[in-house]
A and B are shown apart, each in its own frame.
Chain A
C-alpha cells in the first residue's frame, strides 16, 4: 500500500471520527439540565436571516440560564438537502427543541416528523409548512411567523391610496421558488386588484439588486407611463431606485419589503415610499419562546402570528 493511500485513510478516519464526536450528545458531560434548543435557519448569508439569528443570540444571552441555543444554517436558500441533514444531525444529538425556518415548505416535513417521533418539540417559523402535506402525514406542528401576504397587502394598500384607478404598476418578484416570495407577490396582487390598478408586468429579480435594476430599467422604457414598482424585498427596491434615478424618472414610486438598514434613509427621504417590517430580530425569538413554553406546559401546538408593520417616513421620524 502506498504511503499516500495510508495518509488518505488516516485523514478520512480522523474526519469521520470528528463528525461523530461533534455529533455526540453534549448533555452526557455537563450537569446542565437546561433545555437544548436548535435554531435551523435558511441562508446565514441573507440579511434577513442574519438579523433573525442575531436577535435569537442576544435573547439567549439575556436568558442564558433558561436554555442553550445552537444556530445552524445552510449555504443558500435553495439547499434543501443540506437542511434535511442538519435536522437529522440535531435528532442524533437529542436536542429538546428544534426551531426551523424551512428552505422548502414540503420537503422538510418528513424529517421534522421523525424529529417529533423522537420526542423533540418542533416549531416552524418564517416559512409556513404546506398545510396539505402536513395533514397528509398526520403531523401537527405550530407555525410562528408573520403573514407575508398580509404584509405585502398592507404595503400595496398604502401605495394604492396614492394612485388613481387604472394606473399602471410593475411587480419585481423574489426567487420564483421561494414561498415567502410567492406570498408577497400574491399580497401585492390582492391590493392592486382591490383598487383596480393594473399590473403591467411581473418578473423575478431573484432577490438581487442588479437583476432588479436591469428589470426596472427595461420596464420604464417599455412602459413610460408606469406609476410604481412593488418589490418583494428592499435590495431589489434599491436596484429599482437606482434604475429610476438614471432614467430621470424620480416621480415613480417604489415599495420595498423587510425594512433593512440600507433603505431607512431612503424611506425617510421618501425615495422609497414604504417598506414592511416583520421584526426579523424577534421572529426566531418568538419561535424559541414558544418552544420553551411547549416544553414546560406540554400545551397542544397552535399557530401564532407575529406582528407585521408598515414602515413609512412617518414611522422612522
Chain B
C-alpha cells in the first residue's frame, strides 16, 4: 500500500513538467483565440494525435537504445501509398491492404536494423539513406500522384466507441502497451540496458544485435500503423505526406524527457510530448499565425519544454539523495 502511494507520487512528479507546459499552452491559446475551448477543437486534436503518437512511440524505443530513425516520415508516405494502391488499384479488401501496408513498415525497419547491426554503422546515416529510398519508392508506387481512396478507408476513422474514434483508442492502447513493455518486460529491460552500456550487456552474455533489430522493426511497423491512421483521416494517399514528420516525432519524444544518449525514456511522457505538439499546431493555426511566426514559436516551445524537463530531473534526483 505504501508502495502504491509512493508510485502515484512519483508518477505525478514525472509528468508535472509536461502538464505545466500543456496547461500553459492551453491557457495562452484560450486567451488569444475566440473559440479554442470548444468541442470541435478537442475533436480536431484527438483526430490528429494518433498518427504522430504512434510514430513517436516507435521513436522512443529507438532513442532508448541510443539510436535514431530518420526514415519514419518517408516510411509513413510509402506505407500509405501502398495502402492506397492496394485498395484503389488492386481492389484488395481493407484488412489485406492494411497487412500489406504494415509489411512495408516491417521491411523498412528490418533493413534499417540489419544494416545498422551488420556493418556497425550509425543509425543516423542508415536511416537517412532509408529516408530517401522510402520517399523515392513512395513516388514510384503512386506515380507521383495523389490518390483518392474514399469511404474504403474512412471506415477506420468513423468507427468509434464511447465517443472516441478507433484511431485514438488504438493510439492509447499502443502507448499503454509500449509503456508496459518498457517497464515490465525482459525485452524492455534489455533495451534500456543496451542504451545505458551496450558493451556491458554484451559481456554479460546477451547479444545486443537481435534486440536492436527488433527495436528498428517495431519502429518501422509503428510508422506504418501511423500511415494507416494518417491515410484514413485524409481518405487519400499522397507520396508527399509525412515530410519532416520524423522531426516532429523526435521532438515529441525529446519533450517527453527521453534522452538522445539512450538508456532513459518513457512512452507515456512521449504521449504528452505528442499532445503538446498537436495542441501547438492546432492553436497556432487557430490564431491564424503566419508561417515564420509558427516556426519560431514551435522551436521555442520544444526547447523550453526540454529545459523544463531537466528541472524536473534535477528536482527528482535531489529528492533521492
Contact = CB atoms under 8 A, between A and B. Distances in A.
Contact of B148 (A243, A245, A262): A262
Contacts of B143: 50
A191 interface: no
B264 interface: no
24 contacts: A45-B135, A45-B240, A50-B144, A200-B288, A203-B289, A203-B290, A208-B238, A208-B243, A210-B241, A214-B281, A215-B285, A217-B44, A217-B282, A218-B41, A219-B286, A222-B36, A222-B286, A223-B35, A224-B35, A224-B40, A238-B234, A238-B238, A246-B157, A246-B233
Contact of B145 (A219, A224, A241, A261): A261
Contacts, number: 125
Nearest to B138: A45
Size range of the chain A interface in the assembly: 35 or more
B144 A47 contact: yes
A260 B157 contact: no
A201 B287 CA distance: 9
B44 A221 contact: yes
B48 interface: yes
Contacts of B33: 222
A220 B40 CA distance: 8
Interface in A193-247: 200-204, 206-210, 213-215, 217-224, 234-235, 238-239, 241-243, 245-247
A302 to B, nearest CB: 33
A204 B234 CA distance: 18
Contacts of A202: 288
Task: Give the interface residue-count category, chain B.
Answer: 35 or more
A282 to B, nearest CB: 18
Interface string B263-298: 000000000000000000111011111110000000
A235 B310 CA distance: 41
A106 interface: no
Nearest to B283: A218
A214 B298 CA distance: 15
A291 B304 CA distance: 56
A106 to B, nearest CB: 20
Contact of A213 (B144, B146, B234): B234
Contacts of B41: 218, 221-222
A46 B157 CA distance: 28
A245 B147 CA distance: 18
A203 B291 contact: yes
Contact of B43 (A224, A234, A247): A247
Contacts of A206: 243
A67 B20 CA distance: 67
Interface string B148-172: 1010001001000000000000000
B34 A222 contact: yes
Interface string A26-68: 0000000000000000001111001000000000000000000
B235 interface: yes
Q: Determine which residue in B33, B38, B146, B290 has the highest number of CB atoms from chain A within 10 A of its CB, and name it.
A: B146
